[in-house]
Amino acid sequence: MNYKKMKVIIADDHPVFRRGIISALKNKSLISKLAEAANGEEVLHLLHKEHYDIVLMDIQMKTMDGLKATKLVHKNHPKTKIVALSMLEDSKIILEMMNNGASGFLTKNADIDEILEAIQVVCSGKDYFSKDASSSLLSNFSELKNMQLAQANSENLFDEREREIAFLLCKGKKNKEIGEIVSLSVRTIEYHRGKIYELVKAKNISELKANVSTEIQNDENLLKKFEKYLKWE
């Protein structure tokens, strides 16, 4: 299969590692341009100036880490693909990166052939996991897909009242408290709660928080609306 040439950003706060990757990639026929960034803010600055096809994104960086940067890149530059880079193989962190918009994961000891393979696969619209990725990460991939589907449901299927109740549930409010806040009976709150749990495929509050989109949990309008009920938390 023929692939177009790619413009790539290497984002890592360790200059020796960053420049090592650049040196290894610079003469590869797949790559048309390379840029480097020491943190997420620098990635966003580069993307503001011009389009890049892919970012190899370190997760742990100062100033702005890979988790936040990935979310902002995915939101503001959706055509740019992201592959997470890390020495970590913590499935929860990798799942969070993927949920924020990353399309793949590479461990930092990946060789140049695997990096090129990841770039090709991700830019073709597929997901890529490092060959060194832990079995627990791979086994949790279905969990990621379920989480993504649930979050899509929470964004698209909640009506205004369910959005408010989901928001308050994620903030730790109990049925009775929510009923008092939104002027509904406890039984009505219980009904909405059950419907919300069913929509996002949650069995408990932890799964609810994981499956309700961050856009709802951090909704500025809801934060303002319910500010007086949350300010002591």
217's CB contacts (< 8 A; 6+ apart) are: 167, 170, 171, 209
Q: Tell me what pLDDT residue 142 has.
A: 56
Q: Tell me what pLDDT residue 149 has.
A: 56
Helix, strand and coil percent figures for the chain, each rounded to 5: 55, 15, 30
Instruction: Report percent pLDDT > 70 for the chain.
Output: 85
Residue bearing the bigger pLDDT, 69 or 92 = 69
Instruction: Report percent pLDDT > 90 for the chain.
Output: 39
Q: What is the CATH number of domain 6-136?
A: 3.40.50.2300
Q: Where are the beta strands (DSSP E) in 64-197?
A: 81-86, 104-107, 128-129
Domain boundaries, the chain: 6-136, 142-230
Q: Tell me what pLDDT residue 33 has.
A: 93
pLDDT tens per residue across span 93-124 = 777 788 788 988 888 888 899 999 999 889 88
Residue 232 has pLDDT above 60, yes or no: no
Q: Tell me what pLDDT residue 1 has.
A: 46
Instruction: Count each helix (H run) and each strand (E run) in the chain, helices first.
Output: 14, 6
Mean pLDDT value across the chain: 85
- As a whole number of angstroms, the distance between CA 205 and CA 168 comes to 11
- As a whole number of angstroms, the distance between CA 200 and CA 194 comes to 10
Q: Do domains 6-136 and 142-230 have the same CATH topology?
A: yes
Predicted TM-score (pTM) of the model is: 0.61
CA 63 vs CA 42, 44, 73: distances in Å: 10, 12, 16
Residue bearing the bigger pLDDT, 156 or 57 = 57
Q: What is the CATH number of domain 142-230?
A: 3.40.50.2300
Q: Tell me what pLDDT residue 131 has.
A: 72
